[in-house]
Structure 1
């Protein structure tokens, strides 16, 4: 499991964040609560009317029709008001959830890539999907039931007290048992729910890693090891769910005992009060009905605390993401961008005890195209990601256009530097949508860039620019996906383009086309090309050769191929192959 999990907000921070979100909808909060309260109050008119009917019957009266009409009106008005209240509450809850989800997503996108990767993307996915879903289910089902139960309990006790205060006191005999049962339940269940959420996130992370690297997993024949890891996390989740079920069952025993104690107290009190002539039989009947009516709300209240606690754990995880540091708003004008890069003594290590980059220095003039080559594990991708701001600088100095990379506002740096990796993502939507995600380009410019990069296959798609692609859309070959990503790069107005083996997945038939498209996508801008094929390096203005996190050679292709060293050996092996 990762040692740098995303944080979980404290109860105080979670409550503060939730109240802030609800504060944006004060009117809807008030209207929903008042309507739901009125619906519960209308429903509780029934026991009082039944008590009056009993007294009327005992007195020999026969006017039951008025009582029946009042009962019918009570039931109908309660149903209507409760329905309206639940609808308003659903609107309130879903709107609040949307705000929390979007805030969490926006904050997550603002984090350095290294932070999310260190925590594990599975944890973030679990929070933005599973935790949001859990909160949504509670808002739709548990929250209305919980509030209805609270209002029902309060109004029932008021109703019993209005009949005779001793009925309310008798009903409260069950409260100590319920209180201690609830404390016992919360104390034992809270750690289980937190652990369950963490294990589910870990299982998601392991599943995502196995699916993303399925080719490698199969090639190395490690399927069973990955399945065993997922099974281990699943067994832990099942074990925690079983423990939670046992705790809930024990809690249920306490609740049944409390209900028996309270009902017995109310019936005995009613017996003595009626026998002593202190209250009418109808009042005792109404009191008993009020307490019987408490069974459902009380059980719902205490059981729904279970659901609310689960949702609270999910909200704490979401507000933990929202609480991550985010870039402050821009306070100055965007800096001028030329594309010059200066690196002095750069050090970086994925682990504290090891440098993956050690003493790297380089200078790229504005508009210069530099190819970086070297064996696998030499540090090429790490260097590219540090230059793009995706990884922090551990030591040394990295400057874009004369400013230290740490002095750039993240949004400005993202605008100035664009990086395309070996596995470009095809976003769900039309080709037009995909190309318009990172640049405000009209159709005329899109078509011009498509033609400039020889991506004519886009015109031959079933609906051209309006063809759906991505998941469930028109399937694209790996070469087409990379070509589409290069068109996106060309449409951006970044001053620095970093291509990290961005055409590596292309087959031999697509290689030449994509290499040419990559060069055209960079255009006159500064280009850092992590070269998968040495043919990409031949046309570069300068070549950097890396070994063990260091730059060991620098020069043009013509100079390096004539100089004995690692590049000459790489070129000899490449041309021999």
Structure 2
């Protein structure tokens, strides 16, 4: 599978943005309407200033009284503009918060809906970066950019129209002088998207390298790979730095040029307006009003320029967040004709390789009956965990098949797969939330009695020591040791109540006595269900109905404990060695 997560195209991002805007269209309409009123109110002040200048220059009648009235009107409309602008921003920010929540929820739903075999092969660092950094940037942009860009756009349009209506010659002069701003933006936009996509991608690569290095720290240390990982990290950081410098270069060209270009319209109107006024073709008040309008235009255009730069990064993050929808997933396969029915698991001549160079499983044939307890044993590297991944649908055999009820396990939809098979490993996750909420993940409608029963079933005696019982917040009221956290993970399995449970080192963090008690409790709870245990303690295998013995990627023995001990082959030798120890 391709390790690179897809990125949404421009059209897909545009469609997603329009969908998010349409989901709260009345808020968007409210922002536009209220801000339009604010912009209209803001035009009155400069116009009244021009009237004040013309009134003073004319000097006829009660000049002082007229100026006072005009000044009071300018002040009044300024207050009205401020109030309306505040109202528009309030509507916009609320819209942004709601939309940001929708984006995050959509990303989480898409992540959880991925088939296990797909999700398990995704680059963890990139996925984390998309769900955290990229989603946060999109949320911040929607919360701030949408209202501010709408406010700035409407304000700028009103100012341009006002200058054109005030005097067409001055208005056209101002527009011509604004062409420099348009040229700078066009130059920037043609180069920005690939640069900012590279910034996001290289940042995710750094996160992936850090995450994988931290996860495999013990293995790296044991194999003496510190220098190699250091080189990989340095290379990722250097690539990220190079991408960020590329984005910085674009900004260093855009902003200085735009600052110069934004001052040109004011200068142009002053020069042209002064010439027209000197020739009695326009009043001084009109020239001043047009100049103030164009000077006010710098504010919204400055805001737009700032957001144009930030929107490139946000657009790249939006494309990465939406790109999750483009991850290909296989269509559920129908039951094979003549195949098994019900919940029987069959592995038929399965071969599997992680790299394609060498098979780590070869010719596996195995039939697991419903309700059977099967133990898979073997030395390290024999292929036990790989077989467990195939049985859980996390990987697909390159040749042969792994089916349940006649359907390929890897093709089952996630919800249906969880009803059939759950793989439990030594890896577990505890959320910084109440114990109750940590358990309800597996069964949202579970009662407190069911939660207590699940914890009791896995031998979680530490429950009695919690200060607030199920309401105790993990990480605040109590800290769970690794063994306790693993029991919490197993309690979730009891609540999920799958038909088939695959245990791969699920009790490895427990001491032998606690592990034995936990496995016995689980066996009692899951009686009548299929249990496949990757047995690292042979006592676990002793209690199984049948034992499958793996060696060098092949299934070399299959039978009951007594049969295999009596045969005296691989399992018999392991049993005798374990008993001697």
Q: Pick the TM interval, shorter chain.
A: over 0.9
For 1:360-371, list aligned pairs within 5 A: 360-371=364-375
Corresponding residue for 1:122?
125
CA contact 2:457–2:522 (8 Å) conserved in 1: no
Deviation at 1:220, TM superposition (A): 4.3
Looking at structure 2, the residues matched to 221 and 185 of structure 1 have their Cα atoms a distance apart, in angstroms, of 47
Q: 1:7 to 1:50 in 2, by over 3 A?
A: same
Q: Give the equivalent residue in structure 2 for 1:575.
A: 579
Deviates more, 1:117-126 or 1:351-360: 351-360
The answer for the alignment partner of 2:18 in structure 1 is: 19
Distance (Å, rounded) in 2 between the aligned partners of 1:393 and 1:22: 44
Q: Residues 175-223 of structure 1, C-alpha deviation per residue, up to 9 Å, x if partnerless?
A: 3322221122223332221111001111111121222233334444545
8 Å Cα contact 1:107-1:324 kept in structure 2: no
Q: Could you tell me how far apart the structure 2 residues matched to 1:473 and 1:381 are? A: 36
Establish whether residue 460 from structure 1 lines up as the match of residue 465 from structure 2: yes
TM-score relative to the length of structure 1? 0.93
Q: For residues 216-251 of structure 1, give each alpha carbon's deviation from its aligned partner in whole angstroms, at most 9, with x where no partner exists.
A: 344445455445433443333333323322321222
- Distance verdict in 2 for CA 1:473–1:315, change over 3 Å: farther
1:554 deviation in Å?
0.7
SS in 2 for 1:497: strand
Query: In the alignment, which residue of structure 1 is the partner of 2:493?
Result: 489
SS in 2 for 1:30: helix
- Could you say what secondary structure the match of 1:200 adopts? helix
Which secondary structure state, in structure 1, belongs to the residue aligned with residue 121 of structure 2? helix
Q: Is 1:416–1:493's contact at 8 Å kept on the other side of the alignment?
A: no
Contact 1:388/1:498 (<8 A) preserved = yes
Q: Give the aligned partner of residue 437 of structure 2.
A: 433
Q: Is the 8 A contact 2:332 2:412 kept in 1?
A: no
Q: 1:444 aligns with which of 446, 449, 461?
A: 449
**TM-superposed deviation, 1:338:** 5.6
Partners of 1:71 and 1:139 in 2: how far apart?
Answer: 33
Which residue number corresponds to residue 295 of structure 1? Answer: 298
- Deviation of 1:325 (Å): 4.9
Deviates more, 1:535-544 or 1:99-108: 99-108
CA distance 1:406–1:249, change in 2 (3 Å)? closer
Taking the TM superposition and a 5 Å limit, the aligned residue runs for 1:31-50 are 31-50=30-49
Q: Kindly report which structure 2 residues correspond to 1:275-314, keeping only aligned pairs within 5 A, or say none.
A: 275-314=278-317
Instruction: Give the match for residue 96 of structure 1.
Output: 99
More deviation, 349-358/543-552: 349-358
Name 1:552's counterpart in structure 2.
Answer: 556
2:238 maps to which residue? 235
Residue of structure 2 aligned with 1:423, choices 414, 421, 427: 427
Counterpart pick for 1:541 among 545, 560, 573: 545
- Cα separation, partners in 2 of 1:5 and 1:191, compared to 1, 3 Å: same
Select 1:394's aligned residue among 395, 398, 402. Answer: 398
2:144 aligned with 1:145: no
Q: CA 1:557–1:356 in 2, change beyond 3 Å: closer, same or farther?
A: same
* 1:140-179 mapped onto 2 (5 Å cutoff): 140-179=143-182
Could you say what secondary structure the match of 1:309 adopts? helix
Pair 67,220 (structure 1): closer, same or farther in 2 beyond 3 Å: farther
Kindly state the Cα deviation for residue 123 of structure 1 after the two structures are TM-superposed: 0.7
Q: 1:254 to 1:484 in 2, by over 3 A?
A: closer
CA drift at 1:472: 4.9
* Alpha-carbon distance, 1:267 to partner: 1.3
Partners of 1:197 and 1:342 lie apart in 2 by 44
**Structure 1 residues 182 and 507, CA gap change in structure 2 (3 angstroms):** same
| Residues 424-445 of structure 1: CA deviation (Å, up to 9, x unaligned) | 2223322222222212332223
102 and 176 in structure 1: CA distance in 2 versus 1, 3 angstrom threshold: same
Query: How far, CA to CA, are the matches of 1:310 and 1:529 in structure 2?
Result: 48
Q: 2:352 aligns with which of 348, 359, 369?
A: 348
1:519 aligned to 515, 520, 523, which one?
523
Matches within 5 A, 1:147-226: 147-223=150-226, 225-226=228-229
* TM-score calculated relative to the size of structure 2: 0.92
C-alpha distance in 1, partners of 2:177/2:576?
A: 87
Q: State how far apart, in whole Å, the 2-side matches of 1:54 and 1:86 are.
A: 33
Partner of 2:86: 83
Kept after mapping to 1: 8 A contact 2:99/2:142: no
Cα displacement (A) at 1:162: 1.1
The CA distance in 2 between the partners of 1:248 and 1:454, in whole Å, is: 60
Contact 2:155 2:300 in 1 (8 A): yes
Deviations 1:2-61 (A, max 9, x none): 952111000001101111122121211111221122222222322111111111110112
Contact 1:420–1:500 (Cα < 8 Å) also in 2: yes
Q: Deviations over 1:318-377 (max 9, x none)?
A: 111133357999999xxx996421221223332233333222111111111000111222
Stretches of structure 2 that go unaligned for 5 or more consecutive residues are none
Please state how far the C-alpha of 1:261 moved relative to its aligned partner. Answer: 3.2
Cα-Cα RMSD: 2.6
Aligned 8 A contact 1:337 1:416 in 2: no
Greater Cα offset, 240-249 or 8-17 = 240-249
Residue pair 2:34, 2:85 contacting (<8 A) in 1 also: yes
Q: Distance in 1 between matches of 2:334 and 2:569?
A: 49
User: Deviations for 1:384-442, whole angstroms, at most 9, x for unmatched residues?
Assistant: 12222222343322222343435643311211212211122223322222222212332
2:349 aligned counterpart, secondary structure: strand
